[in-house]
Structure 1
């Protein structure tokens, strides 16, 4: 553990890893719970009622991404696209459900958007941190 905390860079990497794992665990809980309690069909029906075509397919896709994508996120694979996809999912949750309930999840309100906003901010920070400089992306694309 001493080596892990020895330098600023190792502490930084450890901190981002802890945040990435925490996000993966929290998001996986959404997908696994929905799957295990039989919530995919009701979620899909609700999406259809909201006017989305193929509500079940969207609900199944979100559940799949919340289960498989979190494993990839924890493994530090496809971090940037996954953080963007998760952020979009939770932004839509804010627009469709949480915004009308206000800010607070508990306490001064119920089912508000504060938790979703925190998830989005953390996801975007993790994704931004993993984004490679343009010069590295170009050289990787050119094979140099």
Structure 2
């Protein structure tokens, strides 16, 4: 039963995580803007705040969409894990755990989920799985 549910559970987790990251990237570009995001990062003493704001916004927007599609999961899963590690170190670590005090519970949860997705295979309908199957068939035909 668990083995049958695993691909569906991974699909739902991957899509939810991708949606969260995509929404955060959209917010940085459209709602608050890169300049306001950079100003916040500057107030938190993040190095190169404008570059960090732009890079994070691009990663979250593009990578969030990639997670939803199940594309390049090891790459984007690890990039999101590192991104959340940076958010933990530079912004949230000294504010306690709870998000209500700008603590690290959200970034810790997102980092853990990103790490799991990076090594999960992505579940049902993951583009990575389709690409692996396509490559395996192509390799099989090449051997013949």
Equivalent residue for 1:52? 47
Equivalent residue for 2:86? 92
1:21-32 matched pairs, under 5 angstroms: 21-32=15-26
Query: For each residue in 1:85-120, what CA deviation from the matched residue of structure 2 results, as whole angstroms up to 9, or x when unmatched?
Result: 0111111111111111111113xxx11101111111
- Does the 8 A contact of 2:21 with 2:63 survive in 1? no
Equivalent residue for 2:37? 43
Equivalent residue for 1:122? 113
Higher relative contact order (CA 8 A, sep 6+): 2
1:1-144 matched pairs, under 5 angstroms: 8-47=2-41, 50=45, 52-53=47-48, 55-106=49-100, 110-130=101-121
Q: Secondary structure at the match of 1:129?
A: coil
Structure with greater helix share of residues: 2
Q: Which runs of 5+ in 2 are unaligned?
A: 123-131
Q: Using the alignment, how far apart are the partners of 2:99 and 2:42 within structure 1?
A: 25
Q: 4+ residue stretches of structure 1 with deviation over 2 A? A: 7-10, 42-53, 55-58
- How many residue pairs get aligned? The number is 127
- Does the 8 A contact of 2:14 with 2:117 survive in 1? yes
Query: For each residue in 1:103-144, what CA deviation from the matched residue of structure 2 results, as whole angstroms up to 9, or x when unmatched?
Result: 1113xxx1110111111111111112129xxxx9xx97xx56
TM-score (norm 2): 0.75
